[in-house]
Amino acid sequence: MTAATVQPRVSDEKRVTWAELFFDLVFVFAVTRAAQLLHADHSALGVVRALVAFVPLYWIWVGNTIHANLHDVDTDRDRIGMFAVGLCSLLLAVALPQAYEGLGVLFGASYWVARLILVALVSGRDYRKGFLSFTVAATVTGPLMVVGGLLQGDVRLGIWTLAAAIDLSVPWFARRRLADSPFRPDHLTERFGTFIIIALGETVVATAAGAESVDAWHLVGLMVAFVIACALWWVYFAYSPDVIRGELESRSARIEVIRPVLSYGHLALVSGIVAFAAAVGRVVADPLEPLPRDTASLLFGGAALYLATFVFTRWRLFHTVGVPRLVAALVCLGLIAVGTTVPAVAAAAVLAVLLIVLNLVERKVFPKTLHPGRPTS
């Protein structure tokens, strides 16, 4: 049976609540702060520091989403709990740019409190045994984040890296506990798609913020950057939501899609978008100057990571290689060298053309490669 032949069951239908959408507003700000941290330090160490600091925020969002998917959260108790988690996430986002400086304790403590609230929200609820990641975060990684915030320099980074690694590894170890949980495909597809929209929104903000002067070349840079953002949107939303939802509906153990494709895969997708967003403003601000090496690495490397993640998720779901996106990802890596030698707007224009061609190829030439086992129409 293919994903296309499976009809959604009534019991699987679940709508995103208004409280969840309000909760997401915090993460609009959080993604902006993560991009600011990365923009301030383009080095390899800076990339690691930004990723380690972003994981706790993302993991809070994932935890809240899984809780909302399995339980009825449209109640006063859960709304208040969600708002409390949102407040903690807001404090995390406020501290994020200085998480490795004077606000480490605020960053770590806010994470721990958020995880304690999530544990309280699922306490006594159905499927409690599957929420091992909540328990581990509340009893192990949350305290580690606070301890890290009390220390300085590389020691803080090391402890927070350990905490992030533990958080990310728990779903893999707990996969059997969640195997029989009745996850709702429509809700999960919409929620993770929403986070992609949040991340892409940061590219639009960064693009507009780079337009310090409104002359011909700056406007060209702005338009090229916006076209890239639209093309990145198309790469995801033209096919991925339907494919993910279809696979969730067709699998008996839906956690085998959620864990690699949603929890891990979307972290990589969002990381690629944030890296791109941290650098795209430079294209608009200085369109006729070549990009510095580190900026070019973020801009084109972020796009490469975004595309390569689809190659991974496709292999994970169907054990086939998405050749068009793999080739496009490799070309993006090659554009890093190009971006340091030609005007930024020219290199960005090549990326825009590449993504447009990719979308056209996938739409017109290789529809079957995107929907294995499905009809082309």
Residues 193 and 232 in one domain: yes
Q: What's the pLDDT score for residue 3?
A: 39
The answer on pLDDT for 252 being more than 90 is no
Residues 167 and 189 in one domain: no
- Angstrom distance (rounded) from CA 259 to CA 257: 6
Tokens of 104: 């480490």
Residues 275 and 312 in one domain: yes
| Last residue in a domain, options 132, 148, 173 | 173
Residues 149 and 197 in one domain: no
Q: What's the pLDDT score for residue 377?
A: 32
Helix (H, G, I), strand (E, B) or coil at 354: helix
Residue 279 exposed, middle or buried by CB count within 10 Å (0-12, 13-18, 19+): buried
Residue ranges making up the domain that contains 222: 185-370
User: Model-level pTM?
Assistant: 0.91
Nearest to 218 by CA among 292, 296, 299, 285: 285
| Last residue in a domain, options 148, 173, 198 | 173
| Last residue in a domain, options 153, 173, 193 | 173
The answer on pLDDT for 5 being more than 60 is no
pLDDT in tens, 19-38: 999 999 999 999 999 999 99
Residues 36 and 98 in one domain: yes
**Percent of the chain predicted with pLDDT > 90:** 77
Q: Is residue 129 part of a domain?
A: yes
Residues 152 and 206 in one domain: no
pLDDT in tens, 134-156: 899 999 999 999 999 999 999 99
Contact 313, 261 (CB under 8 A): yes
Nearest to 39 by CA among 275, 225, 264: 275
Average pLDDT of the chain to the nearest whole number: 90
Residues 197 and 142 in one domain: no
Q: What's the pLDDT score for residue 186?
A: 94
Q: Is residue 148 part of a domain?
A: yes
Residues 143 and 197 in one domain: no
Q: What's the pLDDT score for residue 286?
A: 93
Total count of domains within the chain:
2
The answer on pLDDT for 236 being more than 70 is yes
The answer on pLDDT for 7 being more than 80 is no
Q: Is residue 51 part of a domain?
A: yes
Q: Is residue 179 part of a domain?
A: no
